[in-house]
Chain A
Amino acid sequence: MRFVDEYRDADKARALAARIAALCEPGRTYKFMEVCGGHTHTIYKHGLEDHLPPAVTLVHGPGCPVCVIPMGRVDDAISIAERPGVIMTSFGDMMRVPGGRGTFLDAMARGADIRMVYSPLDALKIARENPDKKVVFLAIGFETTAPSTAMTVLRAKSEGIANFSVFCNHVTIIPAIKAILDSPDLRLDGFIGPGHVSTVIGCRPYAFIARDYGKPLVVAGFEPLDVLQSVYQNLVQLAEGRVAVENQYARVVPWDGNPKALAVINEVMEPRPHFEWRGLGFISDSALRVREAYAAFDAERIFQIPGGRVADPQACQCGEVLKGVLKPWECKVFGTACTPETPIGTCMVSSEGACAAYYNFGRFSRDRVKEATRT
C-alpha cells in the first residue's frame, strides 16, 4: 500500500476506499471519467486505482490542452514562426508537440525565432521591446488560460501595441464532454469534473450531463482524497438513484465561476463553428477564435496560414486514449517507439497527458485494470 504510506491522510483515504467498495452493487462495474489531465496526474502519481475496488475503473478524458492540438495547427504555427520578422512565443509544453513537419524545436533548429514564455503578458512585453518584429503568442488551453489571453489582447489594445497578435487555439470543455457522451464506444457511469476549468465556468454548464444524459458529475480538487471523494459522491448518487452536478471543490470553485473572466473571454473571443481535436476529429463550437473587433490582434487574419488538415501518424492511438477507450499501455507504440523523449502522439508530451503520466508514474497492476475494462 504505497500511497497509503506516503500520504498524510492515509487513514481517511483508507476509510473512503472502504466506503466506496461498500457502495458498489455486487456484479456491477463502474466507469468514471476524469476529464482533466491534472486528475490523471494525481491518479497515476498516487496509484489511486490500486485502492479502488476492482469494480471501479477510472478512464482518462480529453482535458489535456496540449494533447488535443491537431497536427495541422502545429504546422500552421510553425508556418507563422518561419515568416521573416516574426517572433513566435509559446508555453513550454508546446515545444515538443509533433506536427506534420516536426516540432517547434525542429523549427528553431531551422532558424525560426521561437521563445518560451510563462504568461501571455511575457509575450506582450517581448512585443513592446521589439517594435520592429511581429510577436505572435500561440494561445492554447481550456477556460483556465483563455481569460489570460483575452486580458492580454485588451491590454495590447489599450496600450496601442500594433506588433502583437495571438494565434488562438483555445478549446472549451463542454462540447468535448458532449462529444464523448455521444460517442458509441464508451459507456460511462459518471464524471470527475475538472477543478480549475470550473473556477472559471462554474458548475452550471454541466447541468445537461445530469439532465439529458442521466449521469452524475462531481467537480473535484486535485489531491488524492479529493479524487476519491469525488468517486464516492458519484457512487452515492447512483446508489440513491439520482443524478446531479455536485461540487466537491467548493473551497476553490464558486458555483457560478468567475463572471469577470467569462465576460473578458466573451468580449475578445467567439466560438468557432467547428474545430479539430487531435484524435477526436471535428467538434462543433468547441473552440474559440478572436472576434472581428479585435482582428488587428488575430494572427489568423494577419498571416495567411496553410490551414491544412494533417492525419495523425498511423501508429498513434491518442484518440482512443483521449476518449478513454484505451489505456495508455494498450497503445501499440507505448513505451517503445513513443516515449516522453521521442513522442509520437501528444499524450506523451505534456506531463498532464495520460501516456506521459502513466510512463512516469505507472505503478498499478495492469492486469487488474485490463480485467475490469474487459467487462
Chain B
Amino acid sequence: MCLGIPGEIVEILSDRPDLAKVDVSGVRRAINIGLLEGEDLAPGDWILIHVGFALSKIDEAEAKSALDFLESIGQAYEDEIAALRESMIEQG
C-alpha cells in the first residue's frame, strides 16, 4: 500500500481527462491522474502510483531504478502487483 509503483502512460482517455491507461510492470490498468493537474501528461511519461492514483511524475531513469528496487524486495511487490491485477478501477 505504501509502495509507490512506477507506470508508463499509454493513453490519456479523451472522455475522462482524469484517467490514463497505464502500463505497470506489464499490467494495463486505468489510473487516476487527477492529482497531477497541470502536469501536462502524455503517453510515454512515467508516473509514481499509490493505490490507483498517480502522485508524482518521474523521469524514465528514476522509473527504471524504482522498478529494479521493487523487484529486489520480492514478495511485497508481487502482492502489490497481484492486487493491481485484481483492481477494476473505472471499468464498466
Question: What residues of chain A have their CB less than 8 Å away from a CB belonging to chain B?
Answer: 8, 36-38, 41-42, 45, 64-66, 91-93, 116-122, 125, 140-142, 144-145, 147-148, 151, 195-196, 199-200, 222-223, 251-254, 258, 260-261, 264, 351-352, 360
Contacts and interface: CB of A to CB of B under 8 A. Distances in A.
Interface in B66-92: 66, 68-69, 72-73, 75-76, 79, 83-84, 86-91
B48 A252 contact: yes
Contact of A264 (B35, B65, B87): B35
B3 to A, nearest CB: 7
A129 to B, nearest CB: 9
Contacts of B53: 119, 147-148, 151
B12 interface: no
B83 A125 contact: no
Interface in B25-79: 32, 34-38, 48, 50-53, 55-56, 58-59, 62, 65-66, 68-69, 72-73, 75-76, 79
Contact of A118 (B37, B62, B87, B90): B87
A8 B69 CA distance: 11
Given A118-B87, A251-B59, A41 B76 contact: yes
Nearest to A147: B35
A305 to B, nearest CB: 23
Nearest first, the 9 closest Cβ-Cβ pairs linking A and B are A119-B52, A118-B87, A351-B76, A118-B83, A121-B89, A148-B53, A119-B51, A91-B1, A199-B56
B75 A351 contact: yes
Contacts of B73: 41-42, 45, 351
B4 A196 contact: yes
Given A118-B83, A122-B88, A260-B35, A148 B2 contact: no
B55 A147 contact: yes
Contacts of B56: 199, 252-254, 258
A261 to B, nearest CB: 5
Given A91-B1, A151-B35, A251 B62 contact: yes
Given A91-B1, A144-B50, A360-B75, 8 more contacts: A118-B87, A121-B32, A147-B35, A148-B51, A223-B68, A260-B35, A261-B55, A351-B79
B1 A141 contact: yes
How many chain B residues sit at the interface, stated as a range, is: 35 or more
30 contacts: A37-B2, A41-B73, A45-B72, A65-B1, A65-B2, A91-B1, A91-B83, A116-B83, A118-B51, A118-B52, A118-B86, A118-B87, A119-B89, A120-B51, A121-B52, A121-B90, A122-B88, A125-B88, A141-B1, A142-B2, A144-B55, A151-B35, A195-B4, A196-B2, A199-B4, A223-B69, A252-B48, A252-B56, A253-B56, A260-B34
Contact of B55 (A65, A222, A258): A258
Contacts of B1: 65-66, 91-93, 140-141, 145
Contacts of A41: 73, 76
A119 B87 contact: yes
Contacts of A254: 56
Contacts of A37: 2
A145 B50 contact: yes
A37 B84 CA distance: 21
A196 to B, nearest CB: 5
B4 A125 contact: no
B35 A261 contact: yes
Contacts of B68: 8, 223
A221 B89 CA distance: 28
A350 to B, nearest CB: 8
B85 to A, nearest CB: 8
Contacts of B38: 260
B81 to A, nearest CB: 10
A251 B58 contact: yes
A116 B54 CA distance: 21
